[in-house]
């Protein structure tokens, strides 16, 4: 690894970073920064100031070391006294000479506004919030690049790590047949009680059904897959938040969905290179270069994938392929593909590398190429009534579909993350894709304006 060398070349001054939003993910950035001499987080923004205070407390700071400020002068004075600053308004962060801003609110409209504030300030941006990246990431990246700044997805979250893994493989000349993420939810098969379960749900199996989930040769996995999926559909379905991450990786790498709901198979880890392979090689894929997600199936005492990421790779040279299939990777039965996987994603504990490389080397750990190739759309799975609020990307009322991106126009499909939280203007029958005329456009919404600007840019055939 060259990280320490790259960081050392950046100089002795620590990278001054502001964090917006202190949920589970970003709190880990604040706490881990205490262990990294090259990184300083003197200011955190959250409308819930108690949550921000909690982040600093978890980082080991005493209550007197932190202060809540509501003016720029107060922010600057507290910083000069060596105190850590908490602000409820992100614009107050501009009082400090920040090198990098980390956006982690997860609220699309708000996150876009924060990105524009960072651009105005001349700070690099590490975008933890997935929704803006899924909707207008290419345009934001272009705007930051034109200003001589870095805009990057982050190490630590699945889409950022998958982008990095694909880039690594392609740099080595490997073909990425399929790339994807493992869901955080894994399904455990307990043969002793005849049950498949997650932490929250379980399904009892008949003796005949148990054979579908028992360990088997990889070549049997495809035949068992349909039965597994039918019995565990409520446990293993890919959700909108899964496709939200995968659409960013698709837009950044050129990997494409094989079908618009993705396959989302329920597989043991050794089965992945066998099943997520082209049909002519015994798999289920109708093409090469696919993006997908898996739910990992494992026994009670077996290791899973920890919500990590994976690629199924191949190469043209017979000798190189022999190395791939005999030196620790998991091959398919024909030794034509092999699985490379990362059995973890460490959230904010890993994100400091993105922050440091952006500031010290002007290098994004995210996409080298970023186009709005696909959007995540929402299909109603039940009848939705006028006046009802569109639920979030965890909702069973919405089926996520990844389809080629279209411009935001009257009657056109609306990306799921632009519709969430909006009040329906009319009834929506089950099976309908949500469209722009079903939800109101918020007044003075920078997200919608940026999306239209991006649509016009992409229509000109622009590639960044």
Could you tell me if 207 and 340 lie in one domain?
Answer: yes
Tell whether the model's pLDDT for residue 463 goes beyond 60.
Answer: no
* CATH number for 38: 3.40.50.720
Tell whether the model's pLDDT for residue 42 goes beyond 80.
Answer: yes
Tell whether the model's pLDDT for residue 371 goes beyond 90.
Answer: yes
464 within domain boundaries:
no
Could you tell me if 97 and 184 lie in one domain?
Answer: no
Query: Which of 460, 375, 451 is closest to 139 using CA atoms?
Result: 451
86: tokens are 């908490």
SS (H, E, C) the chain: CCHHHHHHCCCCCCEEEEEECCCHHHHHHHHHHCCCCCEEEEEEECCCHHHHHHHHHHCCCCHHHEEECCCHHHHHHHHHCCCEEEECCHHHHHHCCCCEEEECCCCHHHHHHHHHHHHHHCCEEEECCHHHHHHHHHHHHHHHHHCCCCEECCCCCHHHHHHHHHHHHHHCCCEEEEEEEECCCCEEEECCCCEEECCCCEEECCHHHHHHHCCCCHHHHHHHHHHHHHHCHHHHCCCHHHHHHHHHHHHHHCCEECCCCCCCCEECHHHHHHHCCEHHHCCCECCCCEEEEEEEEECCCCCCCCCCEEEEEECCCHHHHHHHHHCCCEECCCCCCEEEEECCCCHHHCCHHHHHHHHHHCCCCCCCCCCCCEEEEEEECCCECCCCECCCCCCCCEEEEEEECCCCCCCCECEHHHHCCCECCCCECCCCECEHHHCCCCCCCHHHHHHHHHHHHHHCCCCC
Model pLDDT, residue 238: 95
367 within domain boundaries:
no
Could you tell me if 151 and 174 lie in one domain?
Answer: no
Q: What total number of domains does the chain contain?
A: 3
Mean pLDDT of 334-354: 96
Could you tell me if 227 and 312 lie in one domain?
Answer: yes
Q: What is the pLDDT of residues 372-424, one digit of tens each?
A: 999 999 999 999 999 999 999 999 999 999 999 999 999 999 999 999 999 99
Tell me the β-bridge partners of 378.
400
Could you tell me if 26 and 56 lie in one domain?
Answer: yes
Which of 361, 394, 427 finishes a domain?
Answer: 361
Range of the domain at 150: 3-156+348-361
Contact 284, 275 (CB under 8 A): yes
Q: What is the pLDDT of residues 244-295, one digit of tens each?
A: 999 999 999 999 999 999 999 999 999 999 999 999 998 999 999 999 999 9
110 within domain boundaries:
yes
Could you tell me if 330 and 432 lie in one domain?
Answer: no
* Whole-angstrom distance, CA of residue 434 vs CA of residue 451: 17
Mean pLDDT of 321-350: 95
Model pLDDT, residue 61: 95
173 within domain boundaries:
yes
84: tokens are 């850590």
Model pLDDT, residue 56: 97
* Whole-angstrom distance, CA of residue 234 vs CA of residue 451: 34
* Whole-angstrom distance, CA of residue 38 vs CA of residue 3: 12
Q: What is the pLDDT of residues 229-239, one digit of tens each?
A: 999 888 889 99
Could you tell me if 325 and 382 lie in one domain?
Answer: no
Diameter over CA atoms, the chain: 71
Model pLDDT, residue 1: 67
Model pLDDT, residue 349: 98
Lowest mean pLDDT among 158-167, 227-236, 302-311, 433-442: 227-236
Query: Which of 402, 442, 295, 351 is closest to 129 using CA atoms?
Result: 351
Contact 339, 229 (CB under 8 A): no
368 within domain boundaries:
no
* CATH number for 430: 3.90.1210.10
Model pLDDT, residue 461: 78
Model pLDDT, residue 184: 93
Which of 330, 361, 392 finishes a domain?
Answer: 361
| Local confidence band at 220 (pLDDT 50, 70, 90 cut-offs) | confident
* Whole-angstrom distance, CA of residue 386 vs CA of residue 438: 9
Which of 336, 361, 386 finishes a domain?
Answer: 361
* Whole-angstrom distance, CA of residue 57 vs CA of residue 65: 9
Could you tell me if 138 and 198 lie in one domain?
Answer: no
Could you tell me if 199 and 112 lie in one domain?
Answer: no
Mean pLDDT of 88-112: 97
Tell whether the model's pLDDT for residue 91 goes beyond 90.
Answer: yes
pTM to 2 decimal places: 0.96
Burial of 328 (0-12, 13-18, 19+ CB in 10 A): exposed
Could you tell me if 210 and 256 lie in one domain?
Answer: yes
CA torsion sign for 179, 185, 191, 195 is negative
393: tokens are 């990307």
Lowest mean pLDDT among 99-103, 183-187, 218-222, 291-295: 218-222
Could you tell me if 330 and 234 lie in one domain?
Answer: yes
Could you tell me if 222 and 323 lie in one domain?
Answer: yes
Tell me the β-bridge partners of 400.
378
Mean pLDDT of 306-322: 96
272 within domain boundaries:
yes
| Local confidence band at 462 (pLDDT 50, 70, 90 cut-offs) | low
Mean pLDDT, all residues of the chain = 95
394 within domain boundaries:
yes
| Local confidence band at 123 (pLDDT 50, 70, 90 cut-offs) | very high
| Local confidence band at 200 (pLDDT 50, 70, 90 cut-offs) | confident
Higher pLDDT, 445 or 380: 380
| Local confidence band at 11 (pLDDT 50, 70, 90 cut-offs) | confident
Mean pLDDT of 411-438: 98
Contact 214, 268 (CB under 8 A): no
């Amino acid at each position: 690894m060259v990280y320490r060398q790259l960081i050392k070349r950046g100089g002795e001054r620590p990278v001054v970073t502001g964090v917006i939003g202190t949920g589970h993910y970003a709190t880990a950035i604040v706490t881990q920064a205490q262990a990294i001499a090259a990184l300083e987080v003197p200011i955190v923004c959250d409308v819930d100031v108690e949550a921000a205070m909690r982040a600093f407390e978890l980082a080991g700071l005493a209550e007197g070391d932190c202060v809540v400020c509501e003016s720029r002068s107060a922010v600057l004075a507290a910083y000069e006294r060596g105190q850590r600053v908490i602000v409820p308004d992100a614009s107050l962060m501009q009082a400090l000479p920040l090198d990098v801003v980390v956006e982690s609110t997860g609220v699309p409209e708000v996150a876009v506004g924060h990105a524009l504030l960072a651009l105005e300030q001349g700070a690099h941006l590490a975008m933890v919030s997935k929704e803006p990246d899924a909707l207008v990431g290419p345009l934001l990246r272009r705007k930051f690049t034109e200003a001589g700044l870095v805009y990057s997805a982050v190490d630590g979250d699945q889409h950022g790590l998958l982008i990095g893994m694909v880039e690594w493989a392609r740099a080595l000349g490997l073909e990425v047949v399929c790339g994807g993420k493992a869901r955080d939810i894994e399904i455990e098969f307990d043969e002793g009680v005849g049950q498949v379960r997650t932490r929250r749900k379980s399904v009892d199996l008949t003796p005949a059904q148990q054979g579908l989930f028992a360990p088997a040769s990889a070549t049997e996995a495809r035949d068992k897959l349909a039965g597994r999926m039918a019995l565990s559909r409520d446990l293993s379905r890919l959700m909108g938040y899964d496709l939200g991450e995968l659409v960013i990786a698709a837009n950044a790498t050129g990997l494409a969905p094989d079908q618009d709901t993705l396959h989302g198979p329920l597989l043991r880890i050794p089965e992945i290179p066998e099943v997520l392979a082209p049909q002519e090689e015994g798999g289920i894929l109708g093409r090469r270069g696919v993006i997908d997600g898996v739910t990992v199936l494992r026994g009670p005492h077996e290791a899973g994938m920890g919500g990590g990421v994976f690629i199924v790779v191949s190469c043209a040279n017979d000798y190189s392929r022999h190395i791939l299939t005999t030196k620790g990777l998991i091959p398919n039965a024909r030794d034509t593909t092999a699985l490379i996987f990362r059995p973890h994603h460490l959230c904010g504990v890993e994100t400091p590398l993105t922050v440091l490389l952006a500031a010290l080397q002007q290098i994004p750990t995210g996409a080298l190429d970023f186009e709005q190739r696909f959007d995540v759309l929402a299909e109603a799975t039940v009848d939705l009534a006028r006046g009802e609020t569109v639920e979030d990307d965890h909702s069973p009322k919405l089926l996520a579909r990844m389809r080629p991106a279209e411009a935001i126009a009257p009657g056109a499909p609306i990306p799921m993350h632009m519709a969430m939280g909006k009040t329906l203007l009319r009834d929506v029958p089950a099976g309908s894709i949500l469209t722009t005329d079903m939800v109101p456009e918020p007044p003075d919404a920078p997200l919608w304006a940026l999306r239209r600007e991006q649509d016009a840019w992409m229509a000109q055939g622009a590639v960044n």
